[in-house]
Amino acid sequence: MSVMESDKAEERIARRESIAIFEQTFKAHYKNLFVYACSIIKDETQAEETVQQVFYKLWEKKEQIQVQQSLKSYLYRAVHNECINTLRHEKVKAKHGAHVAGTTSETTHLHDKLAAKDLQKRIDAVLNELPEQCRTVFQLSRYEELNYREIADKLDISLSTVKNQVSRALHALRAGLTDYLPALALLLINIKNIAQ
């Protein structure tokens, strides 16, 4: 056997021994480390991932790691530190999630308020273009929530005139508010309910 072949054989033996030692260490300490991680993190899945991460780092850096105390103490300290990092990371994620949710909620609320304000301006502009009686009839049905009979009595006009004027106002609103059809649909439903 040449020197090179001898070196490779020794390397394979050392690697097999290293794997065997690692497996033995994993089997000997995993369960207790998992229980310890659970006591800190309070989540089995994260605890499992945390302990596996510690063993992964141990394997990856096996050449560089120098254990000053016992291996058991080293593993518990490593799991503790990894748990603390996990909890910090979760806290940051939760804060970020709350911030994003709050910002989204505020933005949505602001957007809704601006859209409602803009819609009201457009409605007012369309209504201002209507003849006075038509506008008055519509405003009584929309803003004062009077039914057709009450409007007819209040303005001393016929029921059919009220229906015609509301119909005319709604037609003008449909034409003037095509960009706001969903909001307009709600408005029309409300007016229909009031009329009945």
Question: What are 64-80's pLDDT values in tens digits?
Answer: 666 666 788 888 888 89
Instruction: Classify residue 120: in a domain, yes or no.
Output: no
Instruction: Classify residue 105: in a domain, yes or no.
Output: no
For residue 171, what is the domain's CATH number?
1.10.10
Is residue 35 located within the same domain as residue 86? yes
Instruction: Classify residue 188: in a domain, yes or no.
Output: yes
Number of folded domains in the chain?
Answer: 2
Q: Angle at the Cα of 195 (from 191 to 196), degrees rounded to 5?
A: 125
The model's confidence at residue 62, banded by pLDDT at 50, 70 and 90, is low
Q: Which structural domain range is residue 69 located in?
A: 3-98
Question: What is the per-residue pLDDT across 87-117, written as a single tens digit (0 to 9) for each?
Answer: 888 877 777 666 666 555 666 666 667 667 7
Residue 64's φ and ψ, nearest 5 degrees, are -95, -25
Question: What is the per-residue pLDDT across 160-193, written as a single tens digit (0 to 9) for each?
Answer: 998 898 888 888 877 877 766 655 555 555 544 4
Q: What gap in Å lies between CA 127 and CA 173, rounded to an integer?
A: 8
Is residue 11 located within the same domain as residue 90? yes
Say which residue, 32 or 178, is predicted with more confidence: 32
Instruction: Classify residue 187: in a domain, yes or no.
Output: yes
pTM of the model: 0.42
Lowest mean pLDDT among 9-13, 59-63, 116-120, 148-152: 9-13
- Provide the pLDDT for residue 107: 60
Residue 68's φ and ψ, nearest 5 degrees, are -80, -40
Is residue 55 located within the same domain as residue 134? no
Q: Are 174 and 130 in contact (CB under 8 A)?
A: no
Q: What is the CA radius of gyration of the chain?
A: 38
